[in-house]
Chains A and B, each alone.
Chain A
Amino acid sequence: MRRWPIVAFVTLALGILSGAAAYQQADPRQDQRHAEWHEIAWPFPRDGWPAGRAFRCRGASCGDGIEIYVRPKLGFCNCDRGVADDEEVDRVADLDLLSERFTPIQAGDVISVADMPGRSRAYDLKVTDGARHAAIGIAVSRRCDLLVAVAHGKGDAMRVRRMALQLLGENEMTRWMKAAIEGQ
């Protein structure tokens, strides 16, 4: 009796099964492996707009840590044009809460957050102790209202951007942002 076809079949089947199991266990995105966002208290003194929500990310994918601050600014947008250019992101995205001194690294990108169109832009941020952080300003709009976010960390700007958009894309955050821009 020739056994090799059976051995080959079993080997192949085991190979497929173990490959599938390994594929299911593996994270498709390295960033998502240990990204743990925790909500923290809004760290800024009162200004013209009510406080929003703040989060801190710890874990390998967040490098030395990333923080993000998100809030609506109701009645602060051109009702028809929306967030039209990068200068608008410079003006509205709350970077000045972190530092008066920030310099754009490059031209911004068109994005969509919680079904709202807008722009994001990367910055080199000089913080109070003289250290430099990478920061991402995000501003999206609906009608005459803005939803803004600023994220910063010691890692590179693209990582900060990726992690920030990942958080803002989560279902719970999307629900909150949609409610917040309606004043709820």
Chain B
Amino acid sequence: MSGRLKLAAGLSIFFLVTPGIASAQQQVIGAPSEALNMKLVGTSDLQARSAYQPTIHHQGDRWIAYIGHHGGSDEIPAPLNPQTGKAEPNGTSIVDVTDPSQPKYLRHLPGQEGKYESGGAQMVRICDGKSLPKGDRNAVYMLRTFGGEAHEIWNVADPAKPVLVTRIAGLKDTHKNWWECDTGIAFLVSGAPDWRTRRMTQVYDLSDPAHPQKIRDFGLPGQEPGSTGAVPTELHGPISTGPSGNRVYFGYGTNKGGILQIVDRDKLLSGPKEPTPDNLRLPEIARLPMSAFNGAHTTFPMPGMPIAEFARDKDGKTRDIVMIVDEAILNECNEPRQMVWFADVTVEKAPMMISSYTVPEASGTFCERGGRFGAHSSNESMAQVYYKKMAFIAFFNAGVRALDIRDPYHPKEVGYFIPSITAATDKRCVKIDGKDRCKVAIQTNNVETDERGYIYIVDRANTGLHILELTGPARAVAGLP
């Protein structure tokens, strides 16, 4: 074979094989899951409903997973509930995960009619009645959103037969609430009708869930009723450290112009309530403005972390850290990368970003797989098993990523799990020359952990719930046997 012929043959083979390499990353039904130091324990299809927040609750001698859902899709606005034989708008799935290898679907509690973010019941938090100051000791309370129009509290003492307790309605939006189970104080992400932003905070005393007491409305100055001028980025969600930590960390922005706001909880609860600019500024300790390229979906506080590298330093041995997770919202990398940031907030007046983490795109050619690629959320459990040691990040088509965060100045990935797609996995499309071009890929949306160490991930593209456990070196990071 002549040199030219060899070159031509080589180039032909290259061009034939190269697309194959790229498309080899495209998920197909029947292909195995992709994993490192994480293992699948059990699954539930969640009736092929698009999933948002999972919350796992130890309830008597059982472990129950409560999973919030987005609204339905254009194709299937109200999926079939096989238990009732009826089409039901997406709401809350209640699953017994006592045996994580055999999850038992107990009940689907329908949510608000409406598609995507306009319907469903995305958010869910659980408190035992016995932990709330004025709760019914025999009750277990589920706080959930009802689409964008209301917050609801249900008694789920019998998780298969929830009973509505109360409803806070008349809103234009809702989202990622936080509920302190020891005080009953709830930070409800709401759209109060007269505020200039879609999402702000309504602080409620839900210590007696049957009789909610509103404490105040809260947001950034410029969002309040009657204000003029530029409107600051809308709220995504808060996380409180309760009376002992006396801080609430608010995350504003989703994928743009994020702000971490550090707030004095006591001043927020007891300060003047009228939503004037001065009153809204009063409880604020500091803000950490992020790049216009990134938002703050989750702001997860980890105060008092001992940093091994600083152990012999006379000062600053421990640091107060907030992990900030952005949310990717556009398919196939049509936006700046949304990722994970670690802020050192020890000196509260001057919080500082110290590190970041993202999945290397080339490790799975994720921009070509379809759907969203980027961070969305982290686990929010503060149970000892993982707190301040490991964080789990939902990364859409890159599945869930397990990070060793013991040194938050240098977070390190130690495992991952990308579930297989199924026949239920919904497509995700982008416009090419005016026409939809769609692909099917896993869209791991949210993640939570339980005190036993199981990791629960749920899928936005209808693939359901996957229950995982760590294996190999990743277990050692958490100190698991």
Contact = CB atoms under 8 A, between A and B. Distances in A.
A183 interface: yes
Contact of B434 (A48, A80, A96, A182): A182
B229 A74 contact: no
Interface string A142-184: 0000000000000000000000000000000000000000111
Nearest to A47: B292
A182 B330 contact: no
A47 to B, nearest CB: 5
Contacts of A100: 229-230
A49 B334 CA distance: 11
Contacts of A80: 114-118
Nearest to A84: B172
A183 B334 CA distance: 8
Interface residues of A, number: 26
A159 B5 CA distance: 70
A48 B257 contact: yes
A20 B296 CA distance: 65
B255 A91 contact: no
Nearest to B291: A48
A102 interface: yes
Contacts of B229: 96, 99-103
B330 A79 contact: no
Contact of A96 (B198, B230, B334, B430): B230
A64 interface: no
A81 B119 CA distance: 12
B83 interface: no
B255 A90 contact: no
Contacts of B117: 78-80
A75 interface: yes
A89 B156 CA distance: 41
A97 B146 CA distance: 36
A46 B292 CA distance: 9
A104 interface: yes
Contacts of A48: 256-257, 292-293
A129 to B, nearest CB: 17
15 contacts: A48-B256, A48-B257, A48-B292, A48-B293, A75-B255, A75-B330, A75-B334, A75-B335, A78-B198, A87-B196, A91-B234, A100-B229, A103-B229, A104-B228, A183-B334
Interface of A: 46-49, 74-76, 78-81, 87-88, 90-91, 95-96, 99-104, 182-184
Interface of B: 114-118, 196-198, 228-231, 234, 255-257, 292-293, 329-330, 334-335, 430-431, 433-434
Given A75-B330, A88-B198, 5 more contacts: A90-B231, A91-B197, A104-B228, A183-B430, A184-B431
